[in-house]
Amino acid sequence: MPIVTIQQGPREVEQKRELVERITEAFVATLEVPAESVSVWIQEYPAENWGAAGRLTADR
């Protein structure tokens, strides 16, 4: 059972629906597994809770 975890900033629910659908389709096509076996977990982090290149994302 493939499990995919995505860590990102907040997105609209429709974008997340499409993302989950496309990721599932990719696993089905590539690994030849049933769609029902693919789980996608989305972890969202506000901009004040992550940073890159030494700077908080909220400060960019």
Active site residue 10: no
Sequence-ordered list of residues with C-beta below 8 angstroms from that of 12, at least 6 positions apart, any chain: none
For the chain, what percent of residues have pLDDT higher than 90?
97
Q: According to CATH, what is the number of the domain 3-59?
A: 3.30.429.10
Entry pTM: 0.85
28-41 b/e (C-beta count within 10 Å ≥ 16 → b): beeeeeeeeebebe
pLDDT at 14: 98
pLDDT at 3: 97
- Give me the catalytic one of 2, 10, 34, 46: 2
pLDDT at 18: 98
